[in-house]
């Protein structure tokens, strides 16, 4: 199962983390989403049909894009 841990600079509060968890959790194939508002670090685990490209695109769409080094 692929997973990725990355920074999301736009996280500023617990609501941001909940939005990310809810939105990514609705993506088919995503099995786990964890986030920390203090460190702005998010971890996502997924399987097919989800892809890292889809996850990045959804995060950008909801205005929580991963930091550039996560690409």
Confidence at residue 71, expressed as pLDDT on a 0 to 100 scale: 65
Which residue segment(s) compose the domain that 58 sits in? 3-70
DSSP letters, 28-67, are: TTEEEEEEETTTTEEEEEE-TT--HHHHHHHHHHTT-PPP
In tens digits, what is the pLDDT along the chain, a chain of 71 residues? 999 999 999 999 999 999 999 999 999 999 999 999 999 999 999 999 999 999 999 999 999 999 998 66
CATH code (residue 41): 3.30.70.100
Confidence at residue 38, expressed as pLDDT on a 0 to 100 scale: 97
Q: CB–CB of 39/30 below 8 Å? A: no
Q: Domains in the chain: how many in total?
A: 1
Angle at 6 between CA 4 and CA 9, to 5 degrees: 155
Confidence at residue 70, expressed as pLDDT on a 0 to 100 scale: 66
């Amino acid at each position: 199962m692929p997973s990725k841990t990355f920074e999301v600079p736009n996280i500023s509060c617990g609501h941001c983390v909940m939005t990310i968890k809810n939105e990514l959790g609705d993506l088919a194939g995503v099995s786990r989403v964890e986030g920390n508002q203090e460190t702005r670090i998010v971890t996502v685990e997924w399987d097919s049909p989800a892809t890292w490209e889809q996850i990045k695109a959804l995060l950008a769409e909801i205005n929580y894009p991963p930091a550039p080094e996560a690409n």
